[in-house]
């Protein structure tokens, strides 16, 4: 099942300090993909899929948090996994990327990577799904670097949803007989923020329109975040919401 994208981006925070953000987005023609496949921390992003072994994602992130390079961490986990031929595993850390598609994954399967991203998928309508997912992310990232386009400051979560949409438009998961689908996006960053964006960890667990629903969920979460920043940012800075509003959470 599944196609997904993992990315690493450098940026400057409001104080001019260099920071990193990591993101992963995934969709499939089964429910609950957000509970199984995407993993991220301030040290990297990992996606585990095909015949899913959740421990590959969970332990992969733990290894990255312990300081291992993504290639060493994920390769070591696969070497100890008897089911590796049926796995797909890919991810990024602060310096590198890793991609793996076992020879027993179901057609069409494959992966690609760039300087700061990886994309992989299996049981897809064709290679174009992976290619267009990667191209959509590259185009958006290029626009952001050069200051072109209408959404040059779009949050990473939004651009990851857009990348999934591009792959979905090319056919996505080929199992049309499975109408219950899901999608998820997770973003983590090195920056220590007073209010972490609500839209950086979102899931749509069971739907027939996963990308549209994930986009709508993102848009509502971003709207809610912006409203909360306007209303509660001063209280967050003081770390005391109790006196700001009886309805605050």
> Tens digit of pLDDT for each residue in 28-78?
999 999 999 999 999 999 999 999 999 999 999 999 999 999 999 999 999
Contacts of 210 (CB under 8 A, 6+ apart): 27, 168, 181, 182, 183, 204
C-alpha span between 97 and 23 (Å, rounded): 13
Q: What is the pLDDT of residue 232?
A: 81
C-alpha span between 175 and 215 (Å, rounded): 22
State the DSSP H helix or E strand holding residue 236, giving kind and residue range, or none if neither. helix 210-238
C-alpha span between 24 and 91 (Å, rounded): 8
Q: Are 111 and 88 in contact (CB under 8 A)?
A: yes
Q: Look up tokens 């999934």; give the residue.
A: 164
Give the angle 173-6-153 at the CA atoms, nearest 5°: 110
Would the pTM count as exceeding 0.95? no
Strands 97-101, 87-93: parallel, antiparallel or unpaired by DSSP? antiparallel
Q: Are 26 and 4 in contact (CB under 8 A)?
A: yes
Whether the bond between 108 and the residue before it is cis, its omega within 30 degrees of 0, is yes
Tell me yes or no: is domain 3-238 CATH 3.60.20.10: yes
Q: What is the pLDDT of residue 149?
A: 44
Is a pLDDT exceeding 60 seen at residue 248?
no
Q: What is the pLDDT of residue 234?
A: 72
C-alpha span between 64 and 69 (Å, rounded): 6
- Its sign, for the CA torsion 130, 146, 224, 197, is positive
Q: How many CB atoms lie within 10 A of CB 203?
A: 17
Q: What is the pLDDT of residue 237?
A: 64
Nearest to 107 by CA among 127, 82, 90: 127
Contacts of 145 (CB under 8 A, 6+ apart): none
Indicate the angle between helix axes 127-146 and 156-169, nearest 10 degrees.
Answer: 150
Q: b/e for 68-91, b at 16 or more Cβ within 10 A? A: bbbbebbeebbeebeebebbbbbb
Q: What is the pLDDT of residue 194?
A: 75
> Tens digit of pLDDT for each residue in 91-117?
999 999 999 999 999 999 999 999 999
In terms of Cβ atoms closer than 10 Å to its own Cβ (0-12, 13-18, 19+), residue 214 is buried
> Tens digit of pLDDT for each residue in 192-234?
887 889 999 999 999 999 999 999 999 999 999 999 888 887 7
């Amino acid at each position: 099942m599944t196609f997904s994208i993992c990315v690493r981006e450098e940026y400057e925070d409001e104080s001019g300090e260099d920071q990193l953000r990591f993101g992963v987005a995934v969709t499939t023609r089964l429910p609950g993909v957000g509970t199984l496949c995407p993993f991220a921390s301030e040290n990297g992003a990992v996606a585990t899929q095909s015949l899913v072994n959740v421990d590959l994602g969970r332990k992969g992130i733990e290894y990255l948090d312990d300081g291992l390079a993504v290639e060493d961490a994920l390769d070591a986990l696969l070497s100890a996994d008897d089911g590796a031929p049926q796995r797909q595993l890919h991810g990024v850390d602060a310096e590198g990327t890793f991609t793996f598609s076992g020879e027993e994954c179901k057609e069409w399967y494959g992966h690609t990577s760039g300087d700061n991203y990886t994309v992989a998928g299996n049981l897809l309508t064709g290679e174009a799904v992976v290619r267009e997912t990667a191209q959509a992310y590259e185009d958006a990232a290029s626009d952001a670097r050069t200051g072109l386009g209408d959404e040059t400051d779009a949050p990473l979560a939004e651009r990851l949803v857009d990348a999934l949409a591009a792959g979905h438009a090319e056919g996505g998961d080929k199992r049309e007989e499975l109408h219950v689908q899901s999608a998820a996006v997770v973003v983590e960053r090195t920056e220590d923020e007073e209010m972490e964006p609500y839209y950086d960890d979102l899931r749509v667990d069971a739907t027939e329109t996963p990308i549209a629903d994930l986009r709508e969920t993102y848009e509502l979460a971003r709207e809610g975040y912006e409203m909360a920043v306007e209303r509660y940012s001063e209280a967050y800075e003081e770390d005391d919401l109790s006196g700001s509003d009886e309805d605050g959470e």
